[in-house]
Structure 1
Amino acid sequence: MEQLKPIHLPLELVLNIITCSLPKANVLLAPSHPITQLLLSFTLVCKETCRVARRCLLQHCVYLSSEARLSSYLLTISTRPQYRTITALFLAPFGNTIDNQPTATWVRELFNYTCTTLKRLIIDIPLRSLYPEDDHLGVRRILHQGFKRLENLEELVSVRDELYLSLVDVVAGEPAFWTFFPKLRRLAVYNPDISPSFWRDISKMEKLETLVLTRADGIRSDSNFKTEYFAHCDRNLKVLLVNVDDDQVRYGNMRRHRWNNVDPKKKMTISTYTIPLFMDDDAIEVCQDYIRIGSEYGTLWDWEGEIIPHPPIIVQLVASGA
């Protein structure tokens, strides 16, 4: 029997296979994702496929979800400087607490390397697991120094908190940490305190277009987001309030409270996005998972909810004393 000769595909066709397998430009992929595995395989085929695959890996697959992955990436940077020029990053190197000085130092080192090019950052870090008064190793100061370098960020998602990087417990009037990122266009934070000072800080963000607030605190019946926001600026802003149904914001319908008087041109849209909760699911975990997945796949910023035409109120159910 005649032995079949191997067929060699033209290099152009092989490279086309790589580019056609890529996701949208704003998608970040975990190490276990099939596309990540495919790109890793192409780094072993030849020099040209290796070059293209590595470039794609840096664009879509810098997913540092453990201490080991973070340290390994830093070791790679020392020998391959091109790994410093990343534009997107998922970062979750800590476990249940940030009380880990070596890992915090690695985070600061990573940001020192990547701060000039990094534009999109998703963090899943328990910053509230260690409060300033308990921080005996100076971990929070190390992280504070690292994050403060990221002046070119355009998109930031903090899955677990409001980017809590304060160095002292309570400081009246202290601006939110994300105000250090003047180029932010998109911001998503978890459980922020929605107060007049919050909207004052938001008004400072001249580039901000979309704001996602998950399980926000301080949404009171007398709150008027638009009054507080437009007292400081006159820019367009999309606001999305994310929560499960039982905890979601409701809105009033009294004509005297309509927002049209404050914002007749509808420059700020405020809507609610309700996440389904099944059986005994934990509302916090479900909301955080939704935000993380939505931000990884780049769909978070396109979510549309129910427009709130009036200032929101909290609906409280009071059991009757039967």
Structure 2
Amino acid sequence: MEMLKPMHLPLELVLNVITCSLPKPNVLLRPAHPITQLLLQFTLVCHETRRVANRALREHCVYISSEARLCSLLLVIPSARPDLRQITALFLAPFSETIDDQPTATWIRELFNYTCTTLRRLIIDIPLRSVYPERDHLGVRNILREGFQRLEHLEEFVSVRDELFLDLHWHGGEPAFWTNWPKLRRLAIYNPASHPSFWRDVGKMSNLETLVMTRADGLRDYDIKTQYFRHCNRPLKVLLVNIDSQQMRFGNFRRGKWDNADPKKRMTIMTYSIPLFMDDDPIEVCQDYVRIGAEHGTLWNWEGEIIQHPPRFSQPPRLTEAISFFTQ
């Protein structure tokens, strides 16, 4: 009886299977995700599938969630996997509770030295506020600064836990560290201080299109539009993420001043309220919500309630004032 020969799928069809399996461009996948595992399998099929799968892995699957994963990546880059110097997107969370860890800080600097020419998207979940400058006896903040400063080609950045707090002096009045990245188009930061100096720094960013501010401070103290348009005339989308829907309802600024600062309506300000249940920690809920949105690639498309004009009251009205308003 004649043996049947095995049938081989055309290479074009196999490659089409890979490309059809890929997520949307802005998605970052965890190591255990089925697509990540599928791409790893395709690296073992043949030279051409390995080439295509490795490129997809560099774009979607570099997810460094521990010190061990960071170390293992650095061990293979110099000799076994020089192609990993071409990483374009990265999730980075190698620290646990504190950054007071000199070896890990040094490895981050080394990773950025390898990837700084190609890295375009970066999400970090790093507790930079766990060691303040005056307690930084190991000099880890300066090591991290040296690494992050190399990322001049970054276009999209998300800091889950803070505003990228890499100052060397506490309350030193230093410019925001992300001003070192001139190509930045999208920026998401946690708990920034919405002060005049902050909007001065935002105004310096000539390519910035979208700014996401989670649980920002000072929103009721300063007129965002007036502060921003003192330094530039570029359009900007601002998304204020919080569990408090009233964060911009009452402020110490007037509508006329608001309209004069932005007569062409170049700045869009929206509030985006995150649902919070009774026992939830608002800090953890907001941070997790933004991180997941960044990983899924949906964060930059979030839409909230547009603030058309500043509030009429300089402070929340008392109950009696509210009643009289509706009964007049």
The residue aligned with 1:120 is: 121
d(CA) in 1 for partners of 2:82, 2:317: 58
Equivalence map 1:48-127=2 (5 Å): 48-79=48-79, 80-127=81-128
Cα deviation, residue 24, structure 1: 1.0
Cα deviation, residue 285, structure 1: 0.8
Cα distance change, pair 2–316 in 1 and its aligned pair in 2 (3 A): farther
d(CA) in 1 for partners of 2:303, 2:225: 19
The residue aligned with 2:281 is: 282
Cα deviation, residue 182, structure 1: 1.0
d(CA) in 2 for partners of 1:281, 1:115: 38
Task: Report how many aligned residue pairs link the two structures.
Answer: 318
The residue aligned with 2:326 is: none
Matched, 1:311 2:323: no
Alignment RMSD (CA, Å): 2.4
d(CA) in 1 for partners of 2:314, 2:73: 46
Equivalence map 1:2-81=2 (5 Å): 6-79=6-79, 80-81=81-82
* Unmatched 5+ stretches in structure 2: 321-328
Instruction: Report percent identity of matched pairs.
Output: 72
Cα distance change, pair 196–286 in 1 and its aligned pair in 2 (3 A): same
d(CA) in 1 for partners of 2:314, 2:218: 10
* Unmatched 5+ stretches in structure 1: none
The residue aligned with 1:200 is: 200
The residue aligned with 1:271 is: 270
d(CA) in 2 for partners of 1:253, 1:144: 36
Paired residues of 2:252 and 2:315 also in contact (CA < 8 A): no
Cα distance change, pair 136–235 in 1 and its aligned pair in 2 (3 A): same
The alignment partner of 1:184 has SS state of coil
d(CA) in 1 for partners of 2:210, 2:168: 28
The residue aligned with 2:323 is: none
> How does the TM-score come out when normalised to structure 2?
0.91
> How does the TM-score come out when normalised to structure 1?
0.92
Paired residues of 2:99 and 2:126 also in contact (CA < 8 A): yes
The alignment partner of 1:245 has SS state of coil
Cα distance change, pair 315–7 in 1 and its aligned pair in 2 (3 A): farther
Q: Deviations over 1:149-206 (max 9, x none)?
A: 111111110000000001122213x211111111110000000000011101110001
